[in-house]
Structure 1
Amino acid sequence: MSTLKDKVAIVTGASSGIGAGIVKELLESGMKVVGLARRKVKVDELGKGYEGKLFARETDLTKDEDIANAFNWTEENVGPVYVLVNNAGVGYKSLIDEGDIEMFNISGHYPAQLPGYSIYTTSKYGVTAFTESIRREVATSGSKIKVTNLSPGLVESEMAQSFLDKYIYLKSEDIARGVKYIITQPPGVNVAQLTLRPTGELL
């Protein structure tokens, strides 16, 4: 029996790309998944064949009220959050204060030194450093929460369609398998950093 069966996961940016791939992987693992996105109908489509397992919530991650409502709804209607995948948008401060959850941040492309992309590159390094700071804060508090920074290379997505023909890239399923690897580690193992890149990637 899967150790993930009927445990609750929240996935942000769940309507397409990496987020949608992660939703599918977690559903196949037996989890109940709450998918947050502005395009709720796209999330609903992922639940075919998983009736009663996927719960789509229209959520604007730039609005604190939307985020709070989504988490409150999940606790009241689905159950306590075991896994949080921050695939898009902003984090929510109170999520790390208490609870037995695993928190992830999909930071976008692996932080690399790209000429002409100094702001973009800096933001990626910033996310990595911020996530590690959260991990240390959580560890210092004695909490059982695990925090992971998963850094993908170029991944096929709506946003990347215009230049995919120029580069090699990963599929969303590749990242989803990485997430499953992280959340199936034993309680005493926290995968703090995982980088997944296409073989031969030069970005």
Structure 2
Amino acid sequence: MSIWFITGCTSGLGRSFATEALRRGHQVAVTARSVGAVADLAEEFPGRALPLALDVTDADQIREASRTALEHFGSIDVLVNNAGYGYRAAVEEGDADDVRRLYDTNLFGPIQLMKELLPGMRARRSGTIVNITSIGVRACPPGSAYYTSSKAALEILSVTMMKELDPLGIHVMSVEPGSFRTDFFGRSLTQSSLVIDDYEETAGKRRRLSDDESALPGDPERAAAALIDAVESPEPPGFLLLGTDALDIYRAQSAQQGAEVDAWEQLSASTDFAAAEEGVEAR
């Protein structure tokens, strides 16, 4: 049995992650903006689910929720930074205040939460941090630059942290989910108020996209089971895709980028000093 701290448990993947962890016998600090939204988990799993109010854009709430969870459980073994939301706009259309709130939620909140819980993990030389990003980091659809860039920043930070923390016995995993039936588009998606007609055929198409979640391939409960299996495995991955669509997008984007690198290889290599100029015999 381990002790988990999961953000964004009101619904969607966060709710599925928390429920599956509790079903497996773990103890879980289940957090949401409104504590009432997760009170049912405490009733269903008494003594193991600790409901906490947490707005990840509120530094004081992050400190208070972390302190309460540590006092209640004694330690946190697994942190899952799941809370986040989407934002559709061409880059030029994005509102500065909207973008700051987005980054506060998707990036800076998770950073502070990791910094609150890392001292205990370092002291024990054990722990796991799971950062939920998005396959949008690979696909980069027009109209989603701000959302995908906030998730890409969290992912790059995760990869670097993994190198910093592995020697201390702490594992970091970044997870890119594909499309799951979680009501993300109806519940966790915003758009800019400014609309520029010149982007009608690019970002505009994405704005108008009606996301029929009944047609999406991903099952949130299976995603939760897969995530916990990965965390509990003897050698957990540092990077995990969830969903067949995520696999397809990742492979297609990797192949396309690799082909472009190959096509421009000679130009890329032409920027080094010539061996003769360095006093080295050319070969």
Range of TM-score over shorter length? 0.7 to 0.9
What secondary structure does 2:182 align onto?
Answer: coil
Q: CA deviation at 1:110?
A: 4.1
Corresponding residue for 1:174?
A: 222
Corresponding residue for 1:19?
A: 14
Whether the aligned pair in 2 keeps the contact of 1:156 and 1:164 (CA below 8 Å) is no
List gaps (5 residues or longer) in structure 1: none
Q: CA deviation at 1:165?
A: 4.4
The alignment's TM-score, normalised by the length of structure 2, stands at 0.62
Partner amino acid, structure 1, of 2:153: G
Counterparts of 1:151 and 1:165 in 2: how far apart (Å)? Answer: 18
Corresponding residue for 1:35?
A: 30
Whether the aligned pair in 2 keeps the contact of 1:25 and 1:173 (CA below 8 Å) is yes
Corresponding residue for 2:177?
A: 152
Q: Confirm whether residue 85 of structure 1 aligns to residue 80 of structure 2.
A: yes
Counterparts of 1:103 and 1:26 in 2: how far apart (Å)? Answer: 15
Partner amino acid, structure 2, of 1:174: R
Corresponding residue for 2:49?
A: 54
Higher helix share: 2
Counterparts of 1:26 and 1:202 in 2: how far apart (Å)? Answer: 28
Counterparts of 1:185 and 1:74 in 2: how far apart (Å)? Answer: 25
Whether the aligned pair in 2 keeps the contact of 1:38 and 1:59 (CA below 8 Å) is yes
Counterparts of 2:248 and 2:232 in 1: how far apart (Å)? Answer: 30
Corresponding residue for 2:128?
A: 102
How many residue pairs get aligned? The number is 194
Alpha-carbon RMSD: 2.2
Counterparts of 1:202 and 1:184 in 2: how far apart (Å)? Answer: 26
Instruction: Pick one of 235, 238, 243 that aligns with 1:192.
Output: 238
Whether the aligned pair in 2 keeps the contact of 1:35 and 1:56 (CA below 8 Å) is yes
The alignment's TM-score, normalised by the length of structure 1, stands at 0.85
Corresponding residue for 2:201?
A: none
Q: CA deviation at 1:23?
A: 0.6
Percentage of matched positions with identical amino acids: 25
Q: Which has the larger radius of gyration?
A: 2
